[in-house]
Structure 1
Amino acid sequence: MHLEQRPQKLQWVSDIDITFTEQDAREVHYPHIDALVIKINYGSTQLWQVLVDNGSAIDIIYYDAFKKMRFSDNDLKPAITLLYGFTSDSIMPRSMIELIVNVRTYPRVSMVMTQFLVVDCLFAFNTILGRPIL
């Protein structure tokens, strides 16, 4: 067995604000319970239908989206944890992957290395960004 000491994690601090204008609010009916759905860059790939969920304890990428990004299963690492939903049902993730997430608002760019659990099931979104990245 060969052990190596992990390099110290760098903490990224971002001063990017997310702001909304009156124009953004035109299509919103109040009171509302609309989901925040965005597009985001993973490395050089732009992915649409990304659900922002500040109630989620993990970040998830769905396997169909993973394949569309032209990654290989060789890029995946084992995941040894179950995911539990609101109804206490559980699902075993296929694996996990670390991706660089680019949050771009020119001229500011923030890049964050993020661990995603890869889940192989159908879902309306490609990714869920939870509390770890927020």
Structure 2
Amino acid sequence: MFNFDVGHILVDTSSSVSVMFAEAFSALQVPDNMINRSITNLVSFFGDVVQPIRSIHLPIAVSLAPHWGYAYHLIFLILDCPTTFNVILGRLALA
């Protein structure tokens, strides 16, 4: 269905969630029927409460080109805030 390479990924083993930032999410052009709008707040790296704008369950493959690694499904919270990363993979993504 989708085939995107995403760069600027932070792997954060202390984070309990995986996050995709709004600008990267918009580039995916995901159909509305795949988006979950019932979400809860989360606590940011700085201790303040952040309201995600939505969440989505997406298939991902983690690899170093040209070799394919593992493929699995992952839930991402979508955040609209400034960052240098497109995605943060939390510890559950690495399990």
Tell whether the structures are fold-level matches, with TM greater than 0.5. Answer: yes
Moved more, 109-118 or 75-84: 75-84
Moved more, 92-101 or 69-78: 69-78
The higher-RCO structure (CA 8 Å, 6+ apart) is 2
Q: How many residues align structurally?
A: 91
Two-structure CA RMSD over aligned residues (Å): 1.7
User: What are the ranges of 5 or more consecutive residues in structure 2 without an aligned counterpart?
Assistant: none
Which is greater in Rg? 1
- 1:60–1:119 Cα contact (<8 Å) kept: yes
SS class of match (1:133): helix
**In structure 1, what is the equivalent of residue 28 of structure 2?**
69
Q: Is 1:113 aligned to 2:69, yes or no? A: no
Matches of 1:61 and 1:132, distance apart in 2: 14
How do residues 1-134 of structure 1 correspond to structure 2 at under 5 angstroms? 43-104=2-63, 106=67, 109-134=69-94
Q: Which has the higher helix share?
A: 2
Change (3 A) 1:90 1:96: same
1:82 aligned partner, one-letter code: N
Tell me the TM-score normalised to structure 2 length: 0.84
Q: Which has the higher strand share?
A: 2
Tell me the TM-score normalised to structure 1 length: 0.61
Moved more, 108-117 or 46-55: 108-117
